[in-house]
Amino acid sequence: MKICVIGTGYVGLTTGAVLADLGHELYCVDKNKLIIEKLIEGEIPIYEPGLKELIVRNKKRGLLHFSTDIQRVIKECPILYITVGTPTKEDGSQNLTAINEVIDTLVQTITSHKTIIIKSTVLPGTNEWIHQTLIEKGIDSRMFDVVSNPEFLREGNAVFDMMNPDKIVVGGKSPQSIKIIQTLYEKLQAPYIITSLTGAEMIKYANNALLATKISFINEIARICDAYNVEVTHIAKALGTDNRIGPYFLNAGLGYGGSCFPKDIRALEYAAKRRNVNPEMLRAVQNVNDSQIDLYIDKLTNQLTNLDGKKITVWGLAFKPDTDDIRESRSLLLIEKLLERGTEVHAYDPIVNSFEPAITIHHDMYEAIKGADALIIATEWNQFKTVDWKKVNELMKGNILVDGRNIIDPKVVRKHQLQYIGVARQ
Ligand SMILES: NC(=O)c1ccc[n+]([C@@H]2O[C@H](COP(=O)([O-])OP(=O)(O)OC[C@H]3O[C@@H](n4cnc5c(N)ncnc54)[C@H](O)[C@@H]3O)[C@@H](O)[C@H]2O)c1
Ligand SMILES: O=c1ccn([C@@H]2O[C@H](COP(=O)(O)OP(=O)(O)O[C@H]3O[C@H](CO)[C@@H](O)[C@H](O)[C@H]3O)[C@@H](O)[C@H]2O)c(=O)[nH]1
């Protein structure tokens, strides 16, 4: 059966490549023709480990296609994945422009039955609304099924996560549409959680909210540890041994960023308030995260007295390792705050080489620290875990290392006469 993926970004491209690798025939489309033209030429518009190989292999097998003719492809494919972006506005409400555009395209195009699988993260109630809107716009309800199949992949691990999901969540109204999903994923080993359309949407937000809560929790614990001179990594290790807690998402640091957690937690808070629920925990999770950067800036200011005119180098621009994505990256906020204080900012990232606001980006991590008063590690790239600290000390003017991701052993850098700044590190 031919499958169309509408929206060829991080999720759409991975969905297309993985489903093709599972043996299905995939057609990826996007309203941004440039992305599709690049993909047709063999250029991969995003950095995601393993994705390029998967795309090349399945293009060769004749199972993965890219097309700029959205309407023709939709007409030909009985199964449609919707993977367009769903950003949130400042107040947390969702910007559904892309979803609305897709609905309009579907209304103009549907002439045969479609299973419409919504993979985009949308607020509770949106899938029901999509179903209703299609009917109101003149599509007979027998001509389509809407299925909610939220995605849980992490950027940087996207291919692995989609090939090895912890769970497959499906929300739908008709047993046939749920069966179609089970056929599509029959080669994957994962438990199914079958629920309502709104139940599936809610699972996606609850999942992200709980992970973000773990991060803000450990960041708050780190602040208390700091006040009592306790090493926070020992606490995280101990907590992680408790099976009921688990070892993941307990790494304290600059806090969570990226294209999902910040926007999804904001959106869930908005959705709660819209129904008169006061989401106190969600607010607290965001408050901790929002003040995390200032915590580090204050510590740095205590050492340097004044940041004005100082040269500070930031290692890491991507919001996490193994991606080129800088959406809501903590580096971005950190750099904005440094610039506000009159700092001269230099930066290095293994993949990202353009950045707004304009700062000096170097292509070599050591080149970037020449003459620097302080070095800040903002992203937990592996490359920053094995550093020649002697060389760092020789190249820098000052001797301050701010470890914003708790990836360095303070004792090791201290041996090289560097001053380590972290939160709750001994
Ligand atoms: N990025 C992730 O790690 C991740 C993981 C799970 C879920 N999600 C969710 O998946 C959705 C997509 O996220 P993403 O990061 O892949 O977004 P993205 O911005 O990388 O990609 C979205 C794509 O949709 C295209 N698009 C927009 N309007 C369109 C239209 N009318 N017709 C065709 N194409 C259109 C855009 O041009 C873009 O290429 C979001 O709802 C997000 O919350 C993202
Ligand atoms: O212990 C930790 C773990 C992560 N982070 C930070 O949290 C952010 C998000 O990291 P991660 O969750 O690994 O990346 P994402 O690609 O944003 O993935 C999240 O968001 C996706 C989009 O909804 C979901 O699909 C995934 O399941 C969910 O993990 C990054 O800034 C990390 O640096 C921490 O600060 N401490």
CATH of the domain at 36: 3.40.50.720
Can you say which residues are annotated as belonging to the binding site for substrate?
A: 152-155, 204, 249-253, 257, 320
Residue of 359, 363, 362, 418 lying closest to 387 (CA atoms): 418
pLDDT at res. 230: 98
Could you tell me the two tokens for 293? 């950067």
Q: Are residues 251 and 147 in the same domain?
A: no
pLDDT tens digits, residue range 200-219? 999 999 999 999 999 999 99
pLDDT at res. 90: 86
Q: Are residues 208 and 189 in the same domain?
A: no
> Got the DSSP string for 319-362?
SSTT----TT-HHHHHHHHHHHTT-EEEEE-SS----SS--EEE
User: Ligand 1 within 6 A of 156 CB?
Assistant: no
Distance of alpha carbon 138 from alpha carbon 161, whole angstroms: 38
Q: Write the CB contacts of 297 (distance below 8 Å, at least 6 apart in sequence).
A: 307, 334, 337, 338, 341
- Give me ligand 1 centre to Cα 283, in Å: 26
Q: Are residues 164 and 229 in the same domain?
A: no
Residues in contact with ligand 2 by the CB-under-6-Å rule are: 121, 151-155, 208, 211, 215, 249-251, 253, 255-258, 260-261, 264, 319-320
Complex-level ipTM? 0.99
Once rounded to an integer, what is the mean pLDDT over residues 269-294? 98
- Whole domain around residue 60: which residue ranges? 2-195
Of 259, 261, 266, 380, the residue with max ligand 2 atoms within 8 A of its CB, to mutate for a pocket test, comes to 261
Could you tell me the two tokens for 200? 């599936």
How many Cα atoms sit within 13 Å of 386 on the Cβ side?
Answer: 2
pTM value is 0.97
Domain stops at, among 141, 162, 195:
195
Strand pairing class (79-82; 64-67): unpaired
Domain stops at, among 195, 217, 240:
195
Q: Are residues 39 and 118 in the same domain?
A: yes
User: Ligand 1 within 6 A of 85 CB?
Assistant: yes
Q: Are residues 374 and 256 in the same domain?
A: yes
Q: Are residues 256 and 162 in the same domain?
A: no
| Amino acid symbol at 160 | F
| Amino acid symbol at 292 | Q
Distance of alpha carbon 328 from alpha carbon 254, whole angstroms: 12
Domain stops at, among 173, 195, 217:
195
Could you tell me the two tokens for 258? 């990226």
Q: Are residues 178 and 297 in the same domain?
A: no
Q: Are residues 167 and 257 in the same domain?
A: no
pLDDT tops 90 at residue 333 = yes
Once rounded to an integer, what is the mean pLDDT over residues 231-250? 98
From the CB of residue 31, how many other CB atoms can be counted at a distance below 10 Å? Answer: 16
pLDDT at res. 289: 98
DSSP annotation of 62: T
pLDDT tops 90 at residue 410 = yes
pLDDT tops 90 at residue 358 = no
Q: Domain count of the chain?
A: 2
Of 6, 83, 107, the residue with max ligand 1 atoms within 8 A of its CB, to mutate for a pocket test, comes to 83
The atom of ligand 1 lying closest to the CA of 119 is 10
Residue of 348, 347, 259, 331 lying closest to 292 (CA atoms): 331
Q: Give the ligand at the shortest distance from the Cα of 85.
A: 1
Q: How confident is the model at residue 313 (pLDDT cuts 50, 70, 90)?
A: very high
Q: How confident is the model at residue 111 (pLDDT cuts 50, 70, 90)?
A: very high
pLDDT tops 90 at residue 401 = yes
Residue 260 annotated to the active site: yes
Q: Are residues 251 and 138 in the same domain?
A: no
Q: Write the CB contacts of 42 (distance below 8 Å, at least 6 apart in sequence).
A: 56, 59
Q: How confident is the model at residue 223 (pLDDT cuts 50, 70, 90)?
A: very high
Q: Are residues 11 and 30 in the same domain?
A: yes
Q: Are residues 101 and 211 in the same domain?
A: no
Q: Are residues 59 and 149 in the same domain?
A: yes
